[in-house]
A and B are shown apart, each in its own frame.
Chain A
Amino acid sequence: QSVLTQPPSVSAAPGQKVTISCSGSSSNIGNNYVSWFQQLPGTAPKLLIYDNNKRPSGIPDRFSGSKSGTSATLGITGLQTGDEADYYCGTWDNSLSAVVFGGGTRLTVL
């Protein structure tokens, strides 16, 4: 059971938009920055969003992040088949003194 809660799967058609939610508590998301990671099949995770809504260089602006209260959201617009992957949210948890991740969300581009 992960500290952060994500939907197990989401799907959408190519060109459409999808959002992935990440729910936590005041000990983690509520008082810390959130990051998002993309893991393509058979590869290491890659940072997509950090500090709630910032994109590292090289990440297209189709990817966006937001945070409100104890929840965060990853948005992906103009979906491509190459976006099919597992997506994870992560943050620091003040009560656990640990980095915590969501259980991951598998994106299928139909």
Chain B
Amino acid sequence: QVQLVESGGGLVKPGGSLRLSCAASGFTFTDYYMSWIRQAPGKGLEWVSYISNRGTTIYYADSGKGRFTISRDTARNSLYLQMNSLRAEDTAVYYCARHFGSGGGFDPWGQGTLVTVSS
């Protein structure tokens, strides 16, 4: 079945770095755009970044521009998010999600990985 599994979250100090991974299975990875979406504790959804199916088009939310880098490895069927210069406000559950439909649809979502930025 179609599945996304995130990993790489954890506790990091302000200013530190973390690399999130998302392993995809059950579908042709190179056919789909992919996104990272996050949710701070008790808050709503915030889109972080997307990458086109071939990796040629990338967008970032303003909150991550210059600090976050999205990438994908077709050989490993994996999506990544490199996060540098982390701040307390980056604390959130980070989900990877497959784009679905013509715009703004995501299905499925992974189970999420928690990133905590604290000293």
Of residues 94 through 119 on chain B, the ones whose CB sits less than 8 Å from some CB of chain A are 95, 100-112
Q: Which residue of A44, A88, A100, A104 has the most chain B CB atoms within 10 A of its CB atom?
A: A44
Q: Which residue of B59, B103, B109 has the most chain A CB atoms within 10 A of its CB atom?
A: B103
* Contact in complex: B105, A47 (CB < 8 Å): yes
Q: Which residues of A contact B (CB under 8 A)?
A: 2, 32-35, 37, 44-47, 50-51, 54, 56, 86, 88, 90-92, 96-104
Q: Which residues of B contact A (CB under 8 A)?
A: 35, 37, 44-47, 50, 59, 61-62, 95, 100-112
Query: Is the contact region of chain A dominated by helix, strand, or loop, or is it mixed?
Result: strand
Known: A2-B44, A88-B44, A99-B35. A45 touches B103 (CB 8 A): no
* Contact in complex: A92, B103 (CB < 8 Å): yes
Could you list 29 A-B pairs, sorted by A, with CB under 8 Å?
Answer: A32-B103, A32-B104, A33-B101, A35-B103, A35-B105, A35-B106, A37-B45, A44-B95, A44-B109, A47-B100, A47-B106, A47-B107, A50-B107, A51-B102, A51-B103, A56-B107, A86-B44, A88-B44, A91-B103, A98-B59, A98-B61, A98-B62, A99-B47, A99-B50, A101-B46, A102-B44, A103-B44, A104-B44, A104-B45
